[in-house]
Structures are given as structure tokens and as C-alpha cells.
């Protein structure tokens, strides 16, 4: 039962992290959603505990069995949350490109937080009852500690996964595979009749399916969810590629003759039309002769870089922290623009551009 509390904490944090990432990726939201989601999380955990209190059970074994059965609902509940986040604009009636109304967003987020948190509250209540002994307070304190340790492990696991470029949905499935794998091992450990042992095959198959979906090359599950969200958020644009980086979800798309870069659902950079790029580069090149250096704060449009390289600049410096996003973009550009983005004449500084802006570009 102690291990169940640890693994439930691990999965819960992974599920909530995936939900936050998907909500932020819908665009038009900000840090306010974190407060709403955290409030909903805690409120529904309390609701799950109250639900368990309405149906008391006698005996530690029965309470433990119900806690293990409740863990089965974690992954379906988390997938329902992520699915709801994908359709958040449809649910709230928010048009693509518009900001969410707080009055429409708040109740939707409160509802999205329910599935996993209800299971968490119910499971914790039953697990605490199974652990209760003469020192009931000590058992509850230990239960909180075990779940907190699991939450720390789950948060660290998903954060590391996202930092390595894995998708949030794949990270959620990986946490589900760990949870179901433990449920299968626990069923085998408990033993019992041959029929009871056969029941361990079900969580084992669930663990295998979740693991394959998480680690399958190309992340087909994440791609399917990403295409759906992108189509709802940016109708008319064609999604070419996507990648999680430490700086957010980067998506490369094409609309007409433009290559667009989105970060967490918001437009981050756009390669302008060739005529506009030629005009901008001509204006920059017509500056006084002593101005032979250019500094870009952020990712400059590749078509503009391609035209600028035709002029004898002494130095072109671009400050942008996300090297992985630039590599992703370069792979999708036409030859001329790709060569410009990768040109040795451009000095890239992989850093936050804001300090450069604060000191006027010196250094």
C-alpha cells in the first residue's frame, strides 16, 4: 500500500504537468491558468476524499483492494483531461487567435481538473484506511509523505522528459506505464488462485501498451494530438514539424509562401514575402557606412537573412536561446533560406535576448 501511494503521487504530478502544458499550448492563456488549475486540483482531491467518506468500508484488506482498483482510473482520467484541453477553444466558444475570457475559461478548467483529482482523493482516503493502526495520525502523516515523494519523482520525470524533447502526451503515457507495471507486479506478489494471478495480465498489457505508445519512434500519439490542436488553433496553416524544447513547444508551419514558427501556440516568428524581405534588407543596407554590424534580438526571419547576406556586413549577430528550434526550422526551409540560417557569417548567441536589450546591445 505504501508503494501504491508513491506511484499514485508520481502519476498524479505527471498528469497535472501534461494538462498544464496542453492548456498553455492552446494559445491566448497566461499564468492565471496555473492558479485555477491548482485550485481545481486541490478542490477535487477533497471531493474524492468526501466521496470515499460517503461509502465507508470495513477491514484493511477491502480498503486496500479498493485503492488498487481506483488506480486503474488514473490513466483514462488523465487522457480525458488532455482531450478536453485540446478542445478548450471549442468548449469555451473562443475563436482561433482570440484571447480566452476568464469567465468562460475558469469553469472549463475547473471541470478539466476533476478526473485525476477525484481518483487521487478517493485512493488516498482508502489507502490511509488500509494503513491505519493504533497510531492513526502517524499513518496519515506517512501516507502524505509517500505521496509527496512520488509527486516529486513524477514532476522530475516529466520535466526531464520534456527537456529532452519528448512530448507531454508521451510523458503522460510513460508515467501510466510505470503505474500499470507496478499494479501488475503487485497482483503477482499477492498471489492467490490461478484465476487471480491471471488478472495480473490486464495491468501488464496496459503497461506494455502505454510504454509502446510513449516510446514509439516519431511519437505518433503526440503527433495526432498536436495536429488536432494546431488545426483548431491555426486554421489555414499546415503543420510541418513540432518539438518540445526547454523553451516551450515549437511548431513549424507553412501558410501560403510564408514559413511560420509558433511557440506554445502563439506566433513567434514569420518569414515574410520575398518583396518585403528585399525592402527591409535594402533599408538596413542604406544606413550610414559606419554602421556595418547588425544585432537581432530573437529569431530573425530567414528570408530577411538571405537578402542581408548579399550586402557586405562586417558582422551579423542574432541572440536566440533555442538552438533546437532553429535546427527544426532549418530542415523545413527552401535551400537559399536554409543556407542563410546556417551561414557562418551569422554569429548566433544561444542566450536570452532581454539582457542585451536592457544594455542597448553592448557585449
Inter-axis angle of helices 168-190 and 136-163, to 10 degrees? 140
Cα–Cα distance measured from residue 315 to residue 294, given in angstroms and rounded to the nearest whole number: 6
Question: Is 116's pLDDT higher than 90?
Answer: yes
- For residue 189, which of 6, 1, 7, 12 has the smallest C-alpha distance? 1
Is residue 139 in a domain? yes
Q: Do residue 221 and residue 255 come from a single domain?
A: no
Cell numbers 488545426 label which residue?
231
According to the model, what pLDDT value does residue 193 have?
58
Q: Do residue 22 and residue 49 come from a single domain?
A: yes
Q: Do residue 169 and residue 266 come from a single domain?
A: no
Cα–Cα distance measured from residue 168 to residue 170, given in angstroms and rounded to the nearest whole number: 5
From residue 300, give the alpha-carbon distance in Å to each of 270, 325, 342: 8, 13, 12
According to the model, what pLDDT value does residue 363 have?
43
- For residue 308, which of 321, 298, 297, 294 has the smallest C-alpha distance? 294
- Least confident residue range of 137-146, 195-204, 288-297: 195-204
Q: Do residue 200 and residue 261 come from a single domain?
A: no
Residue 10 near residue 175 (C-beta atoms within 8 A): yes
Q: What are phi and psi of 58, to 5 degrees?
A: -110, 135
Q: Do residue 251 and residue 222 come from a single domain?
A: no
pLDDT tens sequence across 70-88: 999 999 999 999 999 999 9
Cα–Cα distance measured from residue 211 to residue 55, given in angstroms and rounded to the nearest whole number: 34
Q: Do residue 222 and residue 305 come from a single domain?
A: no
Q: Do residue 258 and residue 198 come from a single domain?
A: no
Mean pLDDT of 280-291: 63
Cα–Cα distance measured from residue 241 to residue 262, given in angstroms and rounded to the nearest whole number: 11
Indicate the pLDDT class of residue 138, thresholds 50, 70 and 90: low
SS3 at position 320: coil
Residue 68 near residue 122 (C-beta atoms within 8 A): no
pLDDT tens sequence across 2-44: 889 999 999 999 999 889 888 888 766 667 788 888 899 899 9
Domain span at 320:
239-358
Is residue 363 in a domain? no
Where does a domain end: 217, 232, 247?
A: 232
Q: Do residue 227 and residue 257 come from a single domain?
A: no
According to the model, what pLDDT value does residue 287 have?
63
Most confident of 113-127, 227-241, 317-331: 113-127
Cell of 161: 522528459
Q: Do residue 137 and residue 171 come from a single domain?
A: yes
Q: Do residue 260 and residue 142 come from a single domain?
A: no
Indicate the pLDDT class of residue 122, thresholds 50, 70 and 90: very high
Where does a domain end: 232, 258, 273?
A: 232
pLDDT tens sequence across 254-281: 888 788 888 887 787 777 666 666 666 6
Cα–Cα distance measured from residue 82 to residue 92, given in angstroms and rounded to the nearest whole number: 15
Q: To 10 degrees, the CA torsion angle through 25, 28, 32, 37?
A: -40
According to the model, what pLDDT value does residue 21 have?
85
Cell numbers 475559461 label which residue?
105
What strand order describes the sheet that includes 346-349?
293-297, 315-319, 346-349
Cell of 195: 484465476
Mean pLDDT of 131-156: 78
- Least confident residue range of 4-18, 55-69, 119-133, 348-362: 348-362
Pairing between β-strand 293-297 and β-strand 266-270 as defined by DSSP bridges: unpaired
SS3 at position 291: coil
Q: Do residue 214 and residue 269 come from a single domain?
A: no
Total domains in the chain come to: 2
Cell of 249: 513547444
Q: Do residue 199 and residue 270 come from a single domain?
A: no
Residue 203 near residue 222 (C-beta atoms within 8 A): no
Question: Is 169's pLDDT higher than 70?
Answer: yes
CATH number at residue 338: 3.40.50.150
From residue 165, give the alpha-carbon distance in Å to each of 160, 161, 195, 245, 247: 9, 7, 42, 5, 10
In which element (H, E) is residue 183 found?
helix 168-190
According to the model, what pLDDT value does residue 168 have?
86
According to the model, what pLDDT value does residue 192 have?
59
Indicate the pLDDT class of residue 219, thresholds 50, 70 and 90: confident
In which element (H, E) is residue 298 found?
none
Residue 229 near residue 86 (C-beta atoms within 8 A): yes
Where does a domain end: 187, 208, 232?
A: 232
Is residue 290 in a domain? yes
Amino acid at each position: 500500500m505504501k508503494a501504491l501511494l508513491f506511484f499514485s503521487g508520481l502519476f498524479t504530478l505527471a498528469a497535472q504537468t501534461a494538462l498544464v502544458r496542453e492548456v498553455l499550448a492552446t494559445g491566448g492563456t497566461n499564468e492565471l491558468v496555473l492558479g485555477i488549475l491548482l485550485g481545481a486540483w486541490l478542490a477535487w482531491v477533497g471531493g474524492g476524499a468526501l466521496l470515499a467518506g460517503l461509502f465507508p468500508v470495513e477491514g484493511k484488506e477491502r480498503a486496500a483492494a479498493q485503492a488498487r482498483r481506483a488506480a486503474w482510473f488514473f490513466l483514462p482520467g488523465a487522457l480525458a483531461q488532455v482531450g478536453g484541453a485540446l478542445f478548450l477553444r471549442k468548449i469555451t466558444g473562443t475563436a482561433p487567435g482570440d484571447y480566452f475570457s476568464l469567465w468562460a475559461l475558469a469553469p472549463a478548467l475547473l471541470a478539466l481538473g476533476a478526473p485525476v483529482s477525484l481518483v487521487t482523493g478517493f485512493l488516498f482516503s482508502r489507502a490511509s484506511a488500509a494503513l491505519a493502526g493504533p497510531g492513526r495520525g502517524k499513518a496519515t502523516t506517512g501516507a502524505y509523505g509517500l505521496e509527496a515523494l512520488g509527486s516529486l519523482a513524477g514532476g522530475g520525470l516529466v520535466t526531464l522528459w520534456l527537456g529532452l524533447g519528448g512530448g507531454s502526451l508521451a510523458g503522460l503515457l510513460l508515467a501510466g506505464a510505470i503505474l500499470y507495471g507496478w499494479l501488475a507486479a503487485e497482483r503477482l506478489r499477492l498471489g492467490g488462485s490461478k484465476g487471480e494471478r491471471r488478472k495480473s495480465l490486464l495491468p501488464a498489457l496496459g503497461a506494455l501498451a502505454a510504454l509502446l505508445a510513449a516510446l514509439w519512434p516519431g511519437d505518433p500519439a503526440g503527433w495526432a494530438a498536436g495536429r488536432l490542436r494546431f488545426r483548431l488553433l491555426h486554421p489555414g496553416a499546415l503543420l510541418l514539424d513540432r518539438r518540445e524544447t526547454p523553451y516551450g513547444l515549437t511548431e513549424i508551419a507553412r501558410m501560403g509562401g510564408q514559413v511560420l514558427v509558433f511557440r506554445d501556440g502563439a506566433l513567434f516568428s514569420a518569414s515574410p514575402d520575398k518583396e518585403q524581405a528585399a525592402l527591409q534588407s535594402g533599408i538596413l543596407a542604406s544606413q550610414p557606412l559606419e554602421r556595418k554590424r547588425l544585432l537581432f534580438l530573437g529569431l530573425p526571419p530567414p528570408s530577411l537573412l538571405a537578402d542581408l547576406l548579399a550586402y557586405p556586413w562586417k558582422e551579423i549577430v542574432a541572440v536566440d536561446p533555442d538552438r533546437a528550434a532553429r535546427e527544426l526550422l532549418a530542415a523545413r526551409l527552401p535551400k537559399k533560406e536554409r543556407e542563410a540560417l546556417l551561414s557562418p557569417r551569422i554569429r548566433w548567441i544561444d542566450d536570452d535576448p532581454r539582457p542585451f536589450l536592457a544594455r542597448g546591445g553592448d557585449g
